[in-house]
Amino acid sequence: MRGVRSIAAVATALMLIAGVQPAAAEPPSPFAGPLYLDADTDAERAQKRLLAAGDPTAAAAMAQIAAQPTAVWLGEWWAEPLMRSKLRRHVAAAAAQGSQGQAATLVFVTYAIPYRDCGGHSGGGTTYDAYLDWNRVIAEELAGTRAVVLVEPDSLASLAAPKCAGEVERRPALIAQAVDILADAGLVTYLDGGNSNWLGPAAQAEWLHRAGIDRADGFFTNVSNFYPVQQESDYAGKLSARVGWKHYVIDVSRNGRGWTGTWCNPVGAALGVNPRPTPGTTKLDALLWVKHPGVSDGPCNSGPKAGVWWDAYALALVANRG
């Protein structure tokens, strides 16, 4: 063993003399345990409701969604005491789902950035004065859990749109401060990487740098969108190369048939592959269900307002999966 260490030391020294920096050691995967399965979701409640209504076929279809881990979305719709209570419940449940001392991996989404969606279907958010304190509550409750936090979907890519022009100067810095708060609590953070059909790797990388990607663990792509895994992986690899080879995760909740013509409740969309960690040699950490299949994108294609559960759409996603 001593000889092996000596050879390694000599090799490192020769690399430094030649001006070549040795590759940094990869951090441990944040997805070491099983993905956390929330037992109280819209899909689970819909499954029970359909079964009670005497429709076992629809209930069985809905179970295909209810049985899969989905991210837990956190927003300003919960007052602080309720949010603290919910976070504690999830932490306890994740510990119970773990094995061999390893808790299930919690995946949260923060979705309360001021002027969220810049006036679009998913508008809302906290005030600017309240946003960092809101993140501090999350950090306090999740400290020590190594939970994964997907920070504010669409918050960066949307800044290229004219409707978000008023947020260009202040939002990236605000997100960077939120990342500091969450990272200081030992949480694993991923920032908005857009998707393969939005800004492109060079433009998205600029926003990520401004928003503190150096402190974050990586970025996410395809959240609430429909592009195929291979297309997203190709794009994410190019983006990773521009932001220090950061890792990434991909939302595959509804990309089973790829893009079908619109981002808002598209007809013909299907569930993607089941969520799972993806250990290996690439920078892809996991395929996740971030968007909850069955939650409306907004009042389009006969859907209810954004964020509202929609049985018919959930069942269509299952049927279209085949």
Catalytic residues: 117, 154, 297
**Cβ–Cβ under 8 Å, residues 33 and 103:** yes
**Cβ–Cβ under 8 Å, residues 116 and 301:** no
Spatial neighbors of 322 by CB under 8 A, at least 6 apart, are 270
Q: How many residues belong to the chain? A: 322
- Residue 255 DSSP code: B
- Nearest of 307, 316, 288, 321 to residue 107 by alpha carbon: 288
Relative to beta strand 218-221, strand 188-192 is parallel
List of long-range contacts for 19-28, beta carbons under 8 Å, 24+ apart: 27/217
**Cβ–Cβ under 8 Å, residues 120 and 157:** no
Give the CA radius of gyration of the chain.
Answer: 21
Relative to beta strand 276-277, strand 284-288 is antiparallel
Relative to beta strand 247-251, strand 284-288 is parallel
195 three-state secondary structure = coil
Q: In the block, which residue shows the tokens 């345990």?
A: 33
Q: What does the buried/exposed string (b/e) look like for 6-44 if buried means 16 or more CB atoms within 10 Å of the residue's CB?
A: eeeeeeeeeeeeeeeeeeeeeeebbbebbbbbbeebbbb
**Cβ–Cβ under 8 Å, residues 70 and 119:** no
